[in-house]
């Protein structure tokens, strides 16, 4: 196939797209907090969503998620990834999806901050790989900065000067799986925050 016919899976932003992209992290977080699927890791963006987790399993799951994310937010990436690996619901469990999004976020931080995070990404990947071959495939692609179509469309739209592109892309993205899309986006947002790009899920 010619280069025009091949799917390019890496994120590329237009000139000036970095500033636009980072300004939209807050609106993205708020949109996820209000429109993501129930029992997704959008609960990390809006604590009121914790009321959706009612069973004993739900409460233990949420407690472990918050502990793992706290470790990663503190820079203890491998320790947090081990806590999240294989954790939760779904064909690809929520914890695995979060970690894939986190790996993609580290790639973006690396590009925006012009700093090397290869060691950190590799440490997360090694701690994240488990017994689920589908999750492992997503994680390995995320480690290399390779994105599936709807995620790439969303991140590209976040850096697009046109203001009407990213929200339709988010709607399409959130239709992927039961909670996978929201879980992946939550991981991405937390990687950005870890990298020093602040965002708020509060209006």
Over residues 95-103, mean pLDDT: 98
Q: How far, CA to CA in Å, does 118 sit from each of 77, 122, 124, 199?
A: 13, 6, 10, 24
User: Is a pLDDT exceeding 90 seen at residue 127?
Assistant: yes
In whole angstroms, give the CA distance from residue 95 to residue 69. Answer: 10
Over residues 91-119, mean pLDDT: 95
Q: Render pLDDT for 54-98 as a digit per residue (tens, 0 to 9).
A: 999 999 999 999 999 999 999 999 999 999 999 997 789 999 999
Over residues 101-122, mean pLDDT: 94
pLDDT, residue 203, reads 63
- The pTM (predicted TM-score) of the whole model is 0.95
Residue reference for tokens 């179509």: 149
Q: Are 172 and 153 in contact (CB under 8 A)?
A: yes
Tokens of 156: 């590209």
Q: Render pLDDT for 43-56 as a digit per residue (tens, 0 to 9).
A: 999 999 999 999 99
In whole angstroms, give the CA distance from residue 93 to residue 83. Answer: 13
In whole angstroms, give the CA distance from residue 105 to residue 72. Answer: 13
pLDDT, the chain, mean: 94
pLDDT, residue 1, reads 65
User: Is a pLDDT exceeding 70 seen at residue 3?
Assistant: no
pLDDT, residue 90, reads 79
Q: Render pLDDT for 180-190 as a digit per residue (tens, 0 to 9).
A: 999 999 999 99
């Amino acid at each position: 196939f010619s280069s025009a016919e091949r799917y390019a899976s890496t994120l590329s932003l237009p000139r000036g797209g970095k500033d636009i992209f980072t300004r939209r992290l807050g609106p993205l977080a708020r949109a996820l907090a209000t429109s993501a699927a129930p029992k997704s890791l959008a609960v990390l963006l809006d604590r009121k969503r914790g009321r959706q987790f009612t069973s004993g399993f739900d409460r233990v799951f949420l407690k472990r998620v918050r502990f793992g994310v706290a470790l990663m937010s503190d820079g203890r990436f491998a320790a947090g990834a081990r806590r999240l690996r294989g954790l939760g619901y779904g064909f690809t469990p929520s914890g695995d999806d979060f970690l894939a999004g986190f790996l993609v976020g580290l790639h973006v931080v690396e590009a925006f901050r012009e700093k090397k995070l290869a060691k950190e990404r590799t440490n997360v990947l090694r701690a994240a790989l488990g017994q689920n071959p589908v999750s492992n495939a997503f994680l390995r692609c995320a480690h290399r900065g390779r994105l599936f179509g709807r995620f790439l469309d969303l991140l590209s739209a976040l850096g697009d000067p046109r203001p009407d592109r990213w929200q339709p892309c988010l709607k399409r993205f959130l239709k992927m799986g039961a909670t996978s899309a929201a879980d992946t986006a939550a991981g991405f947002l937390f990687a950005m925050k870890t990298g020093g790009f602040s965002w708020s899920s509060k209006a």
